[in-house]
Structure 1
């Protein structure tokens, strides 16, 4: 599976920046993580495998050290945690490392899909 080359994650550097995203963006995907977390890196890899199937979503990463108040607001006590926000509200939460298939089907229920994730899998297997 190719790495996501169309959309790279954007780092959120503060709680204020996060709150601004909530106000301005219709929808976005956030990976809550911390430095040196191997599971967080694996979670990001799995998200990158499917994110291009959802053109309306951009991937952001928020690290515990950059905005502990946001982690507290959403009662996040361990990482990785993935959340999708739509119209300022969290509509999806994934705890731990989720498989690409799980992420895809969860997101598809909220956004539909161009199905590029499964098209790419089919092309690799043929």
Structure 2
């Protein structure tokens, strides 16, 4: 399966920027991660595999070292954690690593899907 090449992960640099995004974006997908976390890298790679399947999906990443106060506010005690925020409220939370197919189905109710993830799988099988 090919990697997502069209969309880049956007790094949130601090808690203030996160709060601003939360207020300005109707929908927000955030991967809460840690600098030295191999599982966080695996979770990010799995999310990247499905990004192109959603027209309006952007992956934002927030590192613990950049905004520990945000991790505390949302009671995130381990990483990786993936959250969907809608209208400034947490609407979905995934702990740990999820396979791309699971992520696809979990995110589909929140973001418009083109089903390209499964078309790509069918083409390669």
Q: TM-score, normalised by structure 2?
A: 0.96
CA RMSD in angstroms, aligned pairs only: 0.9
Deviations 1:88-114 (A, max 9, x none): 111110000011111000111223411
Distance 2:47 2:57 in 1: 11
Distance 2:50 2:26 in 1: 19
Deviations 1:35-73 (A, max 9, x none): 111000000010011121112121011000000000001
Q: Would you say the 8 A contact 2:56–2:112 is kept in 1?
A: no
Say whether 1:2 aligns with 2:2.
Answer: yes
Q: Which residue in the other structure is 1:60 paired with?
A: 60
Q: Would you say the 8 A contact 2:55–2:111 is kept in 1?
A: no
Distance 1:20 1:32 in 2: 16
**3-state DSSP of counterpart to 2:122:** helix
**3-state DSSP of counterpart to 2:61:** strand
Structure 1 residues not aligned, in runs of 5+:
none
Q: Which residue in the other structure is 1:42 paired with?
A: 42
Distance 2:3 2:21 in 1: 25
Structure 2 residues not aligned, in runs of 5+:
none
Distance 1:86 1:27 in 2: 5
**3-state DSSP of counterpart to 2:113:** coil
Q: Would you say the 8 A contact 2:55–2:112 is kept in 1?
A: no
**3-state DSSP of counterpart to 2:60:** strand
Residue correspondences, number: 125
Show structure 1 runs of 4+ deviating over 4 A: none
